[in-house]
DNA sequence: ATATTGACAGGCA
DNA sequence: GTGCCTGCCAATA
């Protein structure tokens, strides 16, 4: 086949410049994030770890900010290791994140997920890595 | 091409 | 427990 890569997405192709270098990191992040069950949350590091990019948690957050609205990715279910809604400021409006979480029976107190440890969903464990 | 930043995480004082 | 430093890898203020 010609040197042409079939890309499942076309909206963010402009954003995912790295995809041209075999780095589908962003796509993977979105795929995993979409598998987070309702009423559960996970951390950037957990996703990064699942993707084998442990230590690159920042990239996960970066990917989240690049999520096209068309790819229904529950970014509100992704928080930092402290269970804090570190990315709420990037929502629209910021209160939306808490709203969405609360709608899924996830309590948020002081920008922090209540009983985070119990609500935590680790892809590496739940998906059985 | 270089420097700075970024929705993080782990280690150490 | 808190606070500062470093590592991670890509995007661009």
Helix runs in A35-110, H state only: 44-50, 57-65, 95-103
Q: How many CA atoms are closer than 13 Å to the CA of A76, on its beta-carbon side?
A: 23
* Cβ within 7 Å of nucleic strand B, residues: A 43-46, 48, 55, 57-62, 64-65, 67, 75-76, 78, 80-82, 86-87, 89-91
Q: Distance from residue A17 (CA) to nucleotide B2 (C1'), in Å? A: 20
Q: Give CA–CA dist A100/A57, Å, rounded.
A: 23
> For tokens 């795929």, what's the residue?
A31
> Higher model confidence: residue A12 or residue A116?
A116
Output the pLDDT for position A128.
73
In chain A, % of residues over pLDDT 70: 81
Structure-token pair, residue A28: 């993977």
Any idea which architecture A16-118 has in CATH? Answer: Orthogonal Bundle (1.10)
* Reported confidence tier of residue A20, pLDDT bands at 50, 70, 90: very low
User: What does the pLDDT look like over A61-117, one tens digit per residue?
Assistant: 999 998 888 888 999 999 999 999 999 999 999 999 999 999 999 999 999 999 999
CB contact at 8 A, A107 and A113: yes
């Amino acid at each position: 086949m010609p040197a042409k890569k079939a890309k499942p997405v076309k909206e963010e192709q402009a954003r995912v410049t790295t995809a041209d270098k075999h780095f589908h990191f962003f796509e993977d992040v979105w795929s995993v994030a979409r598998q987070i069950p309702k009423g559960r949350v996970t951390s950037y590091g957990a996703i990064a770890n699942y993707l084998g990019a442990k230590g690159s948690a920042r990239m996960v957050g970066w990917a989240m900010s690049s999520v096209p609205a068309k790819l229904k990715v529950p970014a509100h279910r992704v928080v930092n290791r402290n269970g804090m809604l570190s990315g709420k400021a990037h929502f629209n409006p910021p209160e939306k994140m808490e709203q969405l979480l609360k709608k899924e029976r996830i309590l948020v107190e002081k920008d922090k997920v209540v009983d985070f440890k119990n609500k935590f969903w680790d892809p590496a464990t739940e998906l059985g890595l």
